[in-house]
Structures are given as C-alpha cells and as structure tokens.
C-alpha cells in the first residue's frame, strides 16, 4: 500500500492551513497514495495556547470536519487528520487534541484523543498542554482495507505519546501492524530524540511506523523539528523530509512485516 506523510509548517490562519493540507493531499492522491497523514496541529499553530479554544468544534459537526471529509472523498484517499481541537462537552476551558480518520468515501472511520500531554521547560522555552487540553484515555486501533487485498490494522497515537512504549504495546496486542504518530516536535527535543523514538517504537513492536510532522519556522515564532519519517518493522528509515512542506512516500509491505515477525517472534515477558 502506498502511503504519504504530509509535512506542513502551519500558521495562525485556519483556512490557509486547510488550503495547504488539501494541496498536499491532492499531490499524494495523484502519486497513487491510498493513505495520507497530516501532522499534529495541522489546522492551527496559534499565538497562544488558548487559540485552540476559539476554533474548537463539536465532534461530528463543524466546518473543519466537513472540509476534511470532503477532501478525503474528492481525492479518494483515507485521510488521517493529524489533530484538531474537539470540544469537551460542559467545559469551555478545555479541548481534546483529536485525530480523526476519514475513509476514501469521506466517512468518519476513527477518533483518537491524545493520551499523553506534552510538558517541557528548559528555562528558555516551556510548554504545558494540560493548560487547555484534556487528556484522552483510550488506545485506538482501526482497520483499513487496501487495494492489494490486505486489511491493515492501524494503531493511532500523537507526538508525545512516542515516549510511552506501553501504549504501543497495547496497540500491537490489539493487532496493529502500522503505528501512526502525527507530531509537532519542538526543534530542541526533536534534534536529539525524534528519530531514536520512532525507530525504537518500530523495533519494539516489529511494526511499520509513520510520523507526519510540523517542520520549520512558524509565523508564531515557534520552530518545529520536521523530519517526517517512515520506519520499517526492522527499525530502518525508509523515507524522510527534513523541513518545509511536502509529501513523504513509502510502499508499506505486509510481507516484510510478516517476515520480520517470523524471524523474531514477539513474546510476552513474565514481567509484562
């Protein structure tokens, strides 16, 4: 199955960001991709954390969700819509950082709310997603039939989740063969941890890993690491783009995954 990671450098204008997402999705579709993945916060990297609250939509309703569904249907691609702010009923001070997945027919296939919320402070830059985000609590695995006849089991995750291998163990135990991690890693942490974490999750689970990233200098002054990356089940990097917007392609092979899992069977530890 051909798949694409859509790397972006999102700004403070939602419509402009959606236009960029659609342009990249069109490129991916024309290249034959069946699956396309947008990065975390693809719709908005605002001036303030609270800007997310201003554009939040109720789940299943709203202009962003309508456009994403229409994009997936127009281009005939399964679209993993990075993350967008989904309202928390009864709490106007929090949103969920939510991945929504739309089928090639524009149907909502899956929802994952980011479980692990980023917190970082090195004295020069600081982030605390819990200020405006409410954490999710449920791992999500979905099925995606491909043109080659295989139905892929896909485990969903987001960015900071990468630091918690137990989540990916749960996804693999539910049958995940492909692990996706839309991200907006900071340049500071990404430079030292990004590739290591992605390759580790692939090796831990003998699974394909795909991470669509924000990559560059944003209009709000933030700089993200980029390096959207495909990693195969043996932990080898198959494709990567350092910075700037673009499509990063790979051919996902279920045969390669099965071969590696046969060579090195995953077995439960007595301590697990």
Which amino acids are annotated catalytic? 40, 114, 159
Return d(Cα 178, Cα 54) in angstroms, integer: 33
How many Cα neighbours within 13 Å face the side chain of 12?
Answer: 12
Q: Judge contact between 242 and 215, C-beta under 8 A.
A: yes
> In this structure, are strands 2-7 and 35-37 parallel, antiparallel, or unpaired?
parallel
Q: Which two tokens stand for residue 182?
A: 């839309």
Angle, CA of 137, 51 and 16, to the nearest 5°: 105
* Residue 153: closest CA among 207, 112, 113, 114: 207
Q: Judge contact between 227 and 240, C-beta under 8 A.
A: yes
To which residue do tokens 């800007």 refer?
A: 51
């Amino acid at each position: 199955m051909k798949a694409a990671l859509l790397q972006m450098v999102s700004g403070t204008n939602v419509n402009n960001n959606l236009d960029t997402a659609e342009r990249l999705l069109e490129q991916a579709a024309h290249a034959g991709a069946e699956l396309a993945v947008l990065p975390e916060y693809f719709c908005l990297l605002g001036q303030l954390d609270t800007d997310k609250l201003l554009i939040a939509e109720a789940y299943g309703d709203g202009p962003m969700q309508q456009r994403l569904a229409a994009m997936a249907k127009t281009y005939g691609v399964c679209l993993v819509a990075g993350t967008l702010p989904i309202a928390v009923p009864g709490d106007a001070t929090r949103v969920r950082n939510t991945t929504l997945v739309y089928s090639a027919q524009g149907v909502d296939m899956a929802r994952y709310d980011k479980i692990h919320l980023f917190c970082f402070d090195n004295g020069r830059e600081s982030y605390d997603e819990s200020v405006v985000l409410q954490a999710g609590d449920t791992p999500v695995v979905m099925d995606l039939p491909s043109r080659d006849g295989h139905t892929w089991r896909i485990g969903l995750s987001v960015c900071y989740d990468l630091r918690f291998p137990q989540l990916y163990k749960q996804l693999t135990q539910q049958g995940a063969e492909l692990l996706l991690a839309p991200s907006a890693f900071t340049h500071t942490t990404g430079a030292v941890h990004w590739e290591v974490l992605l390759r580790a999750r692939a090796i831990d689970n003998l699974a394909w890993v795909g991470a669509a990233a924000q990559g560059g200098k944003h209009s709000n002054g933030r700089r993200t690491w980029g390096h959207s990356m495909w990693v195969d089940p043996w932990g080898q990097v198959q494709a990567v783009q350092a910075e700037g917007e673009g499509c990063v392609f790979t051919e996902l092979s279920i045969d390669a995954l099965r071969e590696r899992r046969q060579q090195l069977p995953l077995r439960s530890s007595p301590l697990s």
